[in-house]
Copies of this chain bind each other. A is one copy, B any other.
Amino acid sequence: MTSTPFPADKPNRPERRGRRGAGGITLRDVAKLAGVAPITASRALNKPDAVSPEVLRKVREAVERTGYVPNMLAGGLASSKSRLVAAVVPTIAGPVFQETVQSLTEALAEHGYQLMLGQSGYQNSREDALLETIIGRRPDGVVLTGIMRSADGRRRLLASGIPVVETWDLTPTPIDMLVGFSHEQIGAAVAEFLQGKGRRRVGSIHGNDERAVRRHRAFSESARRLGICAQDQDMAPHAVVAAPTTLGSGRTALRELLERHPDTDAVFCSSDVLALGVLTEAQAIGIKVPQQLAVIGFGDFTYARDLHPALTTVRIDGTGIGRKAAQFIIERAGGRPVADPIHDIGFTIIERDSA
């Protein structure tokens, strides 16, 4: 880039009357410099195959010279394609949705889309306000981590006509598209797994968020059916902690659980953080894992494999969820109807040392 720098002279355009606009370099400037019409410059940038090589070269050079960066607000307005995708997560803290958000960002970026992040908080109160601002941006898609329960929210999203992907859950009645897995199946599978390991007095520790509760319920039912837990209550022994879960709440919860049910020989934790707390507490009070107590977590957070003992846990392919969600949205944006808009991504019980 040795040629003369651009704003050497910025010649006569229709005399910017008011002081509107940011006054930056526009496609017009590029076009003028390249000696073509603005629309041709636009084509050169967006559909390089549709213009002559000569024009392409000149436009590219003009872009170089000027340092032009297309204004996507204007482009989006004109084309009704914002190339923006909104993601709503309860919270970005906590490792649960990280993989999903990360792979979503990457997969979208590869196709020229960008991610707008919204946090709904664990209460649904903010979800509605968030929806308003999201729809206002006219994104080409919305990815919801967790399904949308508010009827009003569903209605507005539907009315907006924006492609929606709900994730991290399975529901027979998604708003639009869905990439998830069954919390009920997981609960049941874990109970069976523990039975297979010879455990006979199982319990659970879980956060009070909706999905964790549903895993627990299914776990509890299966455990009772299989006869591997105390039968004197209507649920398997359990302790509930506030979401978001922490190592500390796991420690406390284990003490609590053991106080009420000292013969517990296995715990299903609704997150690996909780499980780490259980492991920590067990070590502190001298309970051997897995000999005296089997521990199984949920999430397969990065540290799970490296713990001592290595944590047995339920793995969800968060990356796969993000990738599939991106694929759904990109397909839709391309005008193609999505063949099978409900995708069960499944889960895996990763057997390590703790259970």
Report whether A303 and B247 are in contact in the complex, using a CB–CB cutoff of 8 Å.
yes
A242 at the interface (CB under 8 A from B): no
Report whether B82 and A92 are in contact in the complex, using a CB–CB cutoff of 8 Å.
no
Report whether A117 and B138 are in contact in the complex, using a CB–CB cutoff of 8 Å.
no
A323 to chain B, nearest CB (A): 15
Partner of A248, one of B117, B283, B284, B306: B306
Partner of A92, one of B102, B130, B247, B302: B102
Partner of A160, one of B69, B109, B138: B69
Q: In whole angstroms, what is the CA distance A84 to B115 when docked?
A: 12
A294 to chain B, nearest CB (A): 19
A307 at the interface (CB under 8 A from B): yes
List the B side residues contacting A114 at CB < 8 Å: 116, 118, 133, 137
Partner of A247, one of B74, B101, B302: B302
Of A9-17, A207-215, A273-281, the one touching chain B: A273-281
Given contacts A70-B136, A72-B136, A277-B306, contact A99 B93 (CB under 8 A): yes
Report whether B82 and A93 are in contact in the complex, using a CB–CB cutoff of 8 Å.
no
Q: In whole angstroms, what is the CA distance A218 to B69 when docked?
A: 41
**Chain copies in complex:** 2
Report whether A105 and B93 are in contact in the complex, using a CB–CB cutoff of 8 Å.
no
Q: In whole angstroms, what is the CA distance A77 to B102 when docked?
A: 29
A308 at the interface (CB under 8 A from B): yes
Report whether A105 and B118 are in contact in the complex, using a CB–CB cutoff of 8 Å.
yes
A161 at the interface (CB under 8 A from B): yes
A159 at the interface (CB under 8 A from B): yes
List the B side residues contacting A251 at CB < 8 Å: 306
- From 100 to 141 in chain A, residues with beta carbon under 8 angstroms from any chain B beta carbon are 101-102, 105-106, 109, 112, 114-119, 130, 132-133, 135-138
For A135, give the chain B residue with the smallest CB separation.
B69
Q: List 17 additional A-B contacts (Cβ < 8 Å) besides A22-B80, A114-B118, A247-B302.
A: A69-B135, A71-B136, A71-B138, A72-B136, A72-B138, A73-B77, A84-B116, A93-B99, A93-B302, A105-B118, A105-B119, A109-B130, A114-B116, A117-B117, A247-B307, A277-B306, A280-B308
6 interchain residue pairs of minimum CB distance: A248-B306, A247-B303, A247-B306, A72-B136, A117-B117, A73-B77
